[in-house]
Structure 1
Amino acid sequence: MTLTILYFASLREALGQSREVLALPDEIGTVGALRHYLCERGDVWSRLAPGNNVRAAVNQQMARDEAALQGGDEVAFFPPVTGG
């Protein structure tokens, strides 16, 4: 399965990239599994760990860790945003 993954705000800065297209193993079928898979890269990637205060959206719809993924999906990760 291939996904487009977007990183926003402070995540983009920390990870050094705003997007990537990634071919994933078949067992990565949820947002939570994707987060865990990305964290295995180490260092700053641990910011995406399940339980950290990072939001996810799948195809521009807010998604929880148990949300299913399909090939071609766009997954975005971003920190909470406050306005003022």
Structure 2
Amino acid sequence: MIKVRFFASFREKLNCEQLTLQEGEYAPLLSALKSQLADQGEGWREVMMSERTLVAINQTMTRQDVTLRSGDEVAFFPPVTGG
């Protein structure tokens, strides 16, 4: 099982705060999971395929394609701006 969480404007855009996916329901690589989620519709595709989308695995930022393991938390959130 993995948890997939969406933050800030992504949560509103997708109308989804969190997904829980069981073994066999998710692709084993982060890139494949993003493609799998993108297939759910236009808003999902926009969020998942954007180069600006930030991703953290178990609260550690990543830009690499990583292998997902049971118990992982995958978090997607928009770029953070400061001021």
Same fold (TM over 0.5): yes
Alignment match, 2:70:
71
Which region of structure 1 is more displaced relative to structure 2, 26-35 or 53-62? 26-35
**Counterpart secondary structure, 1:49:** helix
Question: How high is the TM-score relative to the length of structure 1?
Answer: 0.85
Q: Tell me the secondary structure at the aligned position of residue 71 of structure 2.
A: coil
Residue 57 (str. 1) matches residue 56 (str. 2): yes
TM-score, length of structure 2 as denominator length: 0.86
Q: How far is 1:49 from its partner?
A: 3.0
**1:73 partner amino acid:** D
Q: Secondary structure at the match of 1:81?
A: coil
* Structure 1 position 15, deviation (Å): 0.6
Map 1:23-42 onto structure 2 (within 5 A).
23=22, 25=24, 28-42=27-41
Q: Deviations over 1:19-48 (max 9, x none)?
A: 121125377122111110000111211123
Note the 1:9-20 alignment, pairs <5 A. 9-20=8-19
Q: What is the percentage of aligned positions where both structures have the same residue? A: 37
Moved over 4 A (4+): none
CA contact (8 A) 2:54 2:76 kept: yes
Sort the Cα spacing of 1:50 and 1:19 in 2 relative to 1 into closer, same or farther, 3 A.
same
Structure 2 unaligned residues grouped into runs of 5+: none
Kindly report the root-mean-square deviation, in angstroms, between the aligned alpha carbons of the 2 structures: 1.8
